[in-house]
Structure 1
Amino acid sequence: MAATKIVIHVQNGSLLPNERTVVLSATLMKRWKIPADSEIGLQFGSQRKAVSVVSAAKITSMRLHEALASHLGIHHGSKLCISYSPEARTLRVGPLVGVLVSRTSSDPEKPFGPISSFCRELTSACEAYGGLVYFFTPEDITTSANSIQGWTFTDRWSRQTFPIPDIVYNRLTTRKLENSAGVQQFMRDVKSRFATTIFNEKYLNKTEVFQALQKDEALQSYLPESHLFKNYLTLKKMCGKYGTVFLKPVTGSLGKGIIRITKLANSTYQCHYTGLGGIRSQSFPKLTPLYNSISGKMKTRRYQIQQGLKLLEVSDRPVDFRALVQRGKTGNWEITSTVARIAGNETFVSNLARGGTLSPVQDAIMKSKLISTQKSAVPQRINKAALDIAKGIETQIDAHFAELGIDLAVDPHGKVWLLEVNSKPSKDDNSPLNATTKIRPSVRQIVRYSQHLAKFR
C-alpha cells in the first residue's frame, strides 16, 4: 500500500475517549479500508501498540493520546509517512532513522562537532519528505534494550527516548569505535530482534576493495595493479614493472601516509612522503637502502602497493575525480554528484585537507591536455565507472552500503582508473559546487533510501 505523509498531533487525554484511540481522516480510512470497529496495531520503529481508529471528516493529521505517543516515542509535530497493511492489520508511521555518530564536542550548539550542521540538515530533510531522525553514540547503546536515548533537533538539540529505529545509518568515524564489542553486539542485536536495516555498516580498506573487484572481469579494466605490500620482493617486482609506484596505508584517509616511489633516469630512486608538515623527499642510489628506510613503517601498519598512474593535469597539477554514488528511492545506485579535485602546489594528493581545490568536472577536463576529441566523452566514462564499481562492491563484499565516495583517475588517453573507495564519504567534499538549496541532493537521497528500505515508498 502506497504511503502518504502526515503530521502527528499529540493531544491532551481529555480530548480523546481513551489512550488507545487514534483519530485519522475519513478519506484515508476509506481509501485503505482501515477497520473502525476493531483493534489494529500502530507501529513506530520497534514499538507497537494495539489501538482503535476513529475517523474525522475534516482533518489531515493523525491525532494521538499523549500517553500513547509517549509509549511509542512519537513526538508532537512530527511529519511522518504512514501506511497500512491489511494483511498484518498494522498502521505504520515512519521511517524512524537512527544515525550512529561519534560525539566529539561538548558544545551544546554543535554536539557532533563538524558534522553537526549535516545532522541538522538531515533533520530538515526528514521533515520535508517524511520521517524522523535521531542521533546516538556508542555510549548511548545498552545491550538488549528496547529503546535508545538519542539526540534530536527542533529549535535546539535535546535528548529524548526513542524506539529502536527501522534504519541505522552508521557514521562512526573511527574503526576502533566501529569494531568495539558494544557496537558490534548492538548491530547483531537490532538486526535479529527488530529486523533493523543497517547501512554503511563498516569501513572498507584498500586491499579488501581491490581483491573483491578483481573477481569481476568486467571491472578489471578499471583497476591499476595493486597488492598488499609484503616484503622487499613485492617492492622489487612492482618497481621493475612501473616507473612510479605508490604505497598507501590500507586503512588510511585524507592522503595521510602515502609514499610515492619514482625511478629516475640515472637509475636512482626518489621517495616522496606525505606528512603533517607537507611533502618531503629523499633519494636513494638503489632499491635496497630505500626498502630499509621504509620497512619500519611497514611493520607497524599495513600498506597497499599500487601501480603509479599518469593523471590528467590542470596547470601542471594532477587532478582526480570524486563521485558520490548513493541509493535512492528505488533502491538502485545513482550518481549524486561528481567533482574534480586538483592537487595543491608541490603535492601529488588532491584531498582538500592537503590543499587541493574543487572544480566542475567539465571545466577540469577542458583545461587539461587530454586530446580534444576525447574530452566530451570523459564525464560519461567517469559516471559509468563509478556506477559499475558501486555495483561491484555490492556484489562482491558482504555488507550493506547506501553511499560510496569513489575516487577515480583519468590518464592522458582518456582511460578511467579506480584509485580508492570510501564507505564514509565526507558531507562537505562531495556537494555540488553550485548548491543553493537548503537540503543537498546527497542528504535527500539518504531520506529517500530510508523510506524505500522501511517500505514507505
Structure 2
Amino acid sequence: MKALLPVKCKDSLKEDAISIPDTLKEWPVSSIAFGTLQYSCKPTYHTGGTLYVSKKIYEELMLPYEGKIHLFIHEDVLHLGPLIGIFTAGFTNSIVRPIGERTLFFSKLLATEKKVGAYVFLFGANHINWEDGTMEGYMFSDEGWCRKTVPFPHVVYDRLPNRRTEKHKLLSETREKIQKDYAIPWFNPGFFNKWDIHQKLMIEESMVPYLPETSNKVTIEKMEEYLAHYPFIYVKPMNGSLGLGVYKIIYDREKGLYYVRFKNAELQNKLMRFSSLETLLGTVMKNKDLSGYIIQQGIPLLKKNDSQVDFRVHTNKDENGRWMVSAMAAKLSGKGSVTTHMNSGGVVKTLSELFPDEVDHADVTQKLTQASLLISESIDTHLPGFIGEIGFDFGMDKEKRVWLFEANSKPGRSIFYHPKLRNEDILTRKLSIEYAVYLTEKSIQYPDGIFS
C-alpha cells in the first residue's frame, strides 16, 4: 500500500502512539520505520487526512521536518519516506555553498522534494557514521542549506562529478559497502564507456541501424580503411566528455592531404594539415595512449544556417520505473568546432525553433523519441545496476536517419540554459526523485534485493 499524506508531530500522543487516517484502517500496523530505523508503535485512527506521530517517535526516527511524504505499509510496518541520499564529492566548509560551483544545481534538485513528497539530502563518504547508522546530511529549504543527522536512506542517487573522483578508493568502497551490507539501492552508478556501450548495443539487431561503424583499434591501417569508405572519421576517447579530446580527420583525395580539427589544451578550436597520417598522429596525438580511443565513422549531418546540427535527448525513468523522454533540444556547432558543445561555441535551439514546419517538427521528434526509448531499454537490459537517467547525443543525416553518437549516464545540463527549456529542466529533476520513490517501494517489498 502506498499513500501521500502530511506527517506531523503531536505532543498529546503517548510515547509509542501514532494516529492514522481511518482510510488506511484495512492495513494493520505494529511498527513504524524511516530509512533504516524502525520502532514498535500503537496505532489509533481518526477521520482526518494526516498521519500524527508522538514527539518521542518523531525524534527517535530522526524525521527532518513535518511535511507531506509517502507512506508505504508492508507486513505490518508503516514506512515513511522515501529518504533519498544524493552521493557526491567536492564539499567545502561553507554552509552557503557547501558543494562549491555545483551548489546551485543541487539546491534546485533538492527543492523538488516537496513537489514529489520525499526527504532528500546530500552527503559524501566522510559524512557517514557507520557505528550508529546515521549520516550528517545537507538539506535545503526556503531558508537555505542546513546540516541534519538522518538515518541511512532508502535509496542513494549517485551524482559523483567525474570519472577520476569515481575511481577514488574511499568513494568506491563506500558505494560497495552501502549496497552489499545494507542492501540499499544505488542508482546511476558509473560513467559509461563508449566502446562498452557500442559492443552491448551491437548484440541487438534492432540497435545496429543507429550505430555508426566503430572500432577500438586505432591504427593507421584502420584509419585508412575508414577514410576509404567515409568522407571523414572521428577519433574519440572511450571515457571522454564535453567533446574534449575528439579529433575529426578528413582526407582530401585530390591533394593527398589530411586535415584534422580538434580543441587544444587552451580550449581553442584548431585546424591543421598533414601530408600523412603518421605525421598527423605523431604531432597532435604524440603522447596519447591510443588504446583508450575509438575510431568512428563520420556522418554528414543535417545543416541549418551553415552550422551542423545534432540533438541532445534526456530520458528518465518515472515513478513506475518506465522510461520516458523528458527533454529534447538541438545543438548547432560553433565556427570551426569539431563538436556542438556550448564550450566550443555551440548554440542550443528548441526543435520548434529549428523546425518551424509542423510536419518536419513532428517527424524529427517522433524519430528521436523512438530511438532514445529503444536504446534506453537496451542499455538498461545489458548494464548492471539501476539506471534512472540517460543523456543521448544523436546525429541526423540529410535523409533524416538517426545516429547515436554517445550515451551519458550523468548527462550535463547545459541545454537547460535555454529559457524555453525551463519546464524540461524541472521535469528531469522531478523524475529523478520520482524514480527514487519507485525504488523505495520496491526495496520495501523485496528487502533482500531480489527485484534487482
Are the counterparts in 2 of residues 323 and 430 from structure 1 also a CA contact under 8 Å?
Answer: no
Q: In the alignment, which of 48, 54, 63 is matched to residue 74 of structure 1?
A: 63
Q: Deviations over 1:390-430 (max 9, x none)?
A: 11111122232110000100001111000101110124424
Are the counterparts in 2 of residues 197 and 453 from structure 1 also a CA contact under 8 Å?
Answer: yes
Gaps of 5+ in 1: none
Structure 1 match to 2:72: 83
Q: In the alignment, which of 129, 139, 142 is matched to residue 152 of structure 1?
A: 139
Q: Residue 452 of structure 1 aligns to a residue in which SS?
A: helix
Structure 1 match to 2:245: 257
User: What are the within-5 Å matches in structure 2 for residues 155-174 of structure 1?
Assistant: 155-174=143-162
- 213-222 vs 190-199, greater mean Cα deviation: 190-199
- Structure 1 residues 260, 428: closer, same or farther in 2, change over 3 A? closer
TM-score computed with the length of structure 1 as normaliser: 0.89
Are the counterparts in 1 of residues 27 and 76 from structure 2 also a CA contact under 8 Å?
Answer: no
For residues 81 and 150 of structure 1, what CA distance do their matches in structure 2 show? 20
One-letter identity of the residue aligned with 1:166: H
One-letter identity of the residue aligned with 1:153: F
Q: In the alignment, which of 303, 309, 332 is matched to residue 322 of structure 2?
A: 332
Are the counterparts in 1 of residues 128 and 134 from structure 2 also a CA contact under 8 Å?
Answer: no
Cα drift, residue 225 of structure 1: 0.8
Are the counterparts in 2 of residues 374 and 414 from structure 1 also a CA contact under 8 Å?
Answer: no
For residues 343 and 54 of structure 1, what CA distance do their matches in structure 2 show? 63
Q: In the alignment, which of 415, 420, 423 is matched to residue 409 of structure 2?
A: 423
Q: Residue 159 of structure 1 aligns to a residue in which SS?
A: strand
For residues 107 and 271 of structure 1, what CA distance do their matches in structure 2 show? 45
TM-score computed with the length of structure 2 as normaliser: 0.90
For residues 192 and 230 of structure 1, what CA distance do their matches in structure 2 show? 38
Cα drift, residue 68 of structure 1: 2.3
For residues 382 and 390 of structure 2, what CA distance do their matches in structure 1 show? 15
Cα drift, residue 439 of structure 1: 7.6
Q: In the alignment, which of 176, 180, 186 is matched to residue 198 of structure 1?
A: 186
Q: Residue 286 of structure 2 aligns to a residue in which SS?
A: helix
Q: In the alignment, which of 88, 110, 113 is matched to residue 97 of structure 2?
A: 110
Cα drift, residue 93 of structure 1: 0.8
For residues 366 and 290 of structure 1, what CA distance do their matches in structure 2 show? 42
Are the counterparts in 2 of residues 10 and 75 from structure 1 also a CA contact under 8 Å?
Answer: no
State the identity %: 22
Cα drift, residue 433 of structure 1: 4.7
Structure 1 match to 2:13: 16
One-letter identity of the residue aligned with 1:175: R
For residues 438 and 250 of structure 1, what CA distance do their matches in structure 2 show? 29
Q: Deviations over 1:80-133 (max 9, x none)?
A: 111222xx1101111111111223544432322343233233333221221110
- Structure 1 residues 388, 115: closer, same or farther in 2, change over 3 A? same
Structure 2 match to 1:358: 348
Structure 2 match to 1:101: 88
Cα drift, residue 289 of structure 1: 1.5
Aligned: 1:207 with 2:195: yes
Cα drift, residue 389 of structure 1: 1.1
Q: Deviations over 1:368-388 (max 9, x none)?
A: xxxx98665222111111111
User: What are the within-5 Å matches in structure 2 for residues 337-348 of structure 1?
Assistant: 337-348=327-338
One-letter identity of the residue aligned with 2:247: I
Aligned: 1:285 with 2:275: yes
Are the counterparts in 1 of residues 350 and 420 from structure 2 also a CA contact under 8 Å?
Answer: no
Q: Residue 398 of structure 1 aligns to a residue in which SS?
A: coil
For residues 149 and 104 of structure 1, what CA distance do their matches in structure 2 show? 13
- Structure 1 residues 101, 54: closer, same or farther in 2, change over 3 A? same
Cα drift, residue 11 of structure 1: 4.2
Cα drift, residue 179 of structure 1: 2.3
Q: Deviations over 1:331-364 (max 9, x none)?
A: 1110011100111222231112222111112432
Gaps of 5+ in 2: 446-452
Aligned: 1:28 with 2:23: yes
Structure 1 match to 2:384: 398
Cα drift, residue 245 of structure 1: 0.7
Are the counterparts in 1 of residues 261 and 270 from structure 2 also a CA contact under 8 Å?
Answer: yes
Q: Residue 440 of structure 1 aligns to a residue in which SS?
A: helix
Are the counterparts in 1 of residues 14 and 54 from structure 2 also a CA contact under 8 Å?
Answer: no
Structure 2 match to 1:136: 123
Aligned: 1:60 with 2:49: yes
Cα drift, residue 285 of structure 1: 1.0
For residues 9 and 269 of structure 2, what CA distance do their matches in structure 1 show? 59
One-letter identity of the residue aligned with 1:395: T
C-alpha RMSD of matched pairs (Å): 2.5
Are the counterparts in 1 of residues 218 and 291 from structure 2 also a CA contact under 8 Å?
Answer: no
For residues 439 and 270 of structure 1, what CA distance do their matches in structure 2 show? 38
- Structure 1 residues 433, 419: closer, same or farther in 2, change over 3 A? farther
- Structure 1 residues 166, 427: closer, same or farther in 2, change over 3 A? farther
Q: Deviations over 1:50-79 (max 9, x none)?
A: 11112344x433222333223222123132
For residues 112 and 301 of structure 1, what CA distance do their matches in structure 2 show? 34
One-letter identity of the residue aligned with 1:62: L
Cα drift, residue 282 of structure 1: 1.3
Are the counterparts in 1 of residues 270 and 336 from structure 2 also a CA contact under 8 Å?
Answer: no
Aligned: 1:220 with 2:208: yes
Cα drift, residue 149 of structure 1: 1.2
Cα drift, residue 284 of structure 1: 0.8
